[in-house]
Amino acid sequence: MWGDNQSHEGEFILLGVADRPRLEMLIFGLVVICYTMTLLGNTTIIVVSRLDPHLHTPMYFFLSNLSFLDLCFTTSVAPQMLVNFWRKRKTISYGACVAQLYIFLALGSTECILLAVMACDRYAAVCRPLRYTTIMSHSVCFKMAAFAWISGLSTSVVESMMTLRLPRCGENRIDNFFCEVPALIELACVDTSVNEAVLFASSVVFLVVPLGLIIISYGFIVSAVLGIRSAEGRQKAFNTCASHLIVVSLFYGTAIFSYLQPPSNYSRDRGKMVSLFYTFVTPMLNPLIYTLRNKEVHKALRRLTKRT
């Protein structure tokens, strides 16, 4: 365990790209832009969904959950990372690393389930329009969202504890920008096959299974949409689902690349860039994707602007 060689009050060194100062400054600028836009975009969606009665629907309830999750997800790593860009020693305390690891993993797992829940909502809206309000009642929506959050928070306890219990023989240099499971497993000085197997199994449960449900849901949705006679009706139905599909592609694509491979096969530089993408770029794009294509949000923003 960590305590065998170094106290729990120790620290980790986050290598990032400290050996390439110009690239480091470029990434700093991009992270500042992405984080600022993430804060503004996701906060806007939460506030508008809350204040406008027309958006008190299951779709916007889940979208508000996604926005809140993305805010917390990015904030769990951004402040520490931005501070470290300006420090010679890129350190993070043991306690902060533990918190970062747990929160990052918990929220990432929650988002996997939440995106699948949102696909079920779209399925009910398109394929069962007459029973939609009954199927997606307030209590059902709350239970589905609660299931996503509890699942993510619970699995993170197990994964974090297993990762942190690995002996590191004094090694504390993490080859990443923040504390993430694959990068921490690399520090171990013992056989990590059990940890890799658990990580892979967890990734299947939280990535492959929800993605499979999303694909099945959209198979039924496409079939139902093609049965709509009017071109306008088909276009409206596809537009309802297009934003969610884009978000799913961005999130699952990068997460599968990072977690559905053994850490021993982890390409360090490529892994760092992919981690940055789903930590900062995807949460920044989510509100843009949902708002730019969404006339209801545009109308809600105009109504709130007129009120003020």
Q: What is the mean pLDDT of the chain?
A: 85
Residue located via tokens 């000085």: 189
What pLDDT, on a 0 to 100 scale, did the predictor assign at position 264?
A: 52
CATH superfamily of 2-303: Rhodopsin 7-helix transmembrane proteins (1.20.1070.10)
* Strand bridging mode 91-93 / 11-14: antiparallel
Domain boundaries, the chain: 2-303
* CA dist., res. 105 & res. 129, Å (int): 35
Is residue 192 scored above 80 in pLDDT? yes
* CA dist., res. 182 & res. 154, Å (int): 19
Calculate the CA 149 to chain-centre distance.
12
Average pLDDT over residues 88-100: 88
Average pLDDT over residues 101-124: 92
Secondary structure (3-state) at 223: helix
What pLDDT, on a 0 to 100 scale, did the predictor assign at position 261?
A: 65
Which DSSP letter does residue 264 get? G
Residue 152 carries which side chain, given as an amino acid letter? Answer: G
What pLDDT, on a 0 to 100 scale, did the predictor assign at position 293?
A: 62
Residue located via tokens 């399925």: 123
- pTM for the model: 0.86
Q: Helices in the chain by DSSP H: which ranges?
A: 21-51, 58-75, 78-84, 94-127, 132-135, 138-164, 181-185, 193-203, 209-226, 231-259, 268-276, 282-292, 295-307
What pLDDT, on a 0 to 100 scale, did the predictor assign at position 268?
A: 64
Query: CA angle 217-136-131, nearest 5°?
Result: 85
* CA dist., res. 286 & res. 293, Å (int): 11
Average pLDDT over residues 79-94: 87
Is residue 8 scored above 70 in pLDDT? no
DSSP 153-220: HHHHHHHHHHHHTS--TT--EESSSS--HHHHHTT-SS--HHHHHHHHHHHIIIIIHHHHHHHHHHHH
The model's pLDDT over 219-267, given as tens digits with 9 standing for 90+, comes to: 998 888 887 777 777 777 777 678 888 888 888 888 887 777 655 555 5
Residue 2's pLDDT band, with cuts at 50, 70 and 90, is: very low
The model's pLDDT over 48-85, given as tens digits with 9 standing for 90+, comes to: 888 888 888 898 999 999 999 999 999 999 998 898 88
